[in-house]
Amino acid sequence: MKIFYAIQATGNGHISRATQLHPYLLKHGTVDFFVSGNNATLDLKLPIKFQSKGCSLYYSKCGGLDYWNITKNIRPRQIYKDADALPLKDYDIIINDFDAITSLACKMQNVHSVQFGHQASFLSKNTPRPEKKSLMGEMILKHYASAPKNIGLHFEKYDSFIRPPIIKDQILEATPKNLNHITVYLPSFDQDCLQKAFNKLNDVQFHWFLSDVTQKNTVNNITYYPVNQKQFNQSLITCDGIITGGGFETPAEALYLGKKVLSIPIRNHYEQECNAAALKKLGVPVVYDVAKDFDQIIANWLDLKITYPKIQANNIPETLDYLFDTYRS
According to the model, what pLDDT value does residue 66 have?
Answer: 64
Length of the chain: 329
**Residue range 242-258: mean pLDDT, rounded:** 96
Please list, in sequence order, all residues whose beta carbon lies within 8 angstroms of the beta carbon of residue 257, skipping any fewer than 6 positions away. Answer: 171, 174, 176, 236, 237
pLDDT band for position 65 (50/70/90)? low
Supply the mean pLDDT for the chain.
92
For 45, counting Cβ atoms within 10 Å of its Cβ (0-12 exposed, 13-18 middle, 19+ buried), the class is exposed
pLDDT digits (tens, 9 = 90+) for 128-178: 999 999 999 999 999 999 999 999 999 999 999 999 999 999 999 999 999
Q: What is the pLDDT of residue 12?
A: 79
| CA pair distance 128, 123, nearest whole angstrom | 11
The CATH classification number of 2-166+314-328 equals 3.40.50
CATH number for 169-303 (one of 2.40.37.20, 3.40.50.300, 3.40.50.2000, 3.40.50.620): it is 3.40.50.2000
3-class SS at 254?
Answer: helix
Residues in Cβ contact with 85 at an 8 Å cutoff, skipping those fewer than 6 apart: none
Same fold, 2-166+314-328 and 169-303: yes
Is the pLDDT at 40 greater than 60, yes or no?
no
pTM over cut 0.85: yes
The model's pLDDT over 188-213, given as tens digits with 9 standing for 90+, comes to 888 988 999 999 999 999 999 998 89
User: What are all long-range contacts of 43-52, with beta carbons under 8 Å and residues at least 24 apart?
Assistant: 43/229, 44/15, 45/19, 46/15, 46/18, 46/19, 46/22, 50/86, 52/78, 52/79, 52/82, 52/101
Element (H or E) spanning 226, and its range?
strand 222-226
Compute the distance between CA of residue 233 and CA of residue 238 in angstroms, rounded to an integer: 9
Please state the domain extents for the chain: 2-166+314-328, 169-303
Query: What pLDDT is stored for residue 58 in this prediction?
Result: 59
| DSSP 8-state code for residue 88 | G
Q: 202 vs 53, which has greater pLDDT?
A: 202
d(CA 218, CA 221): 7
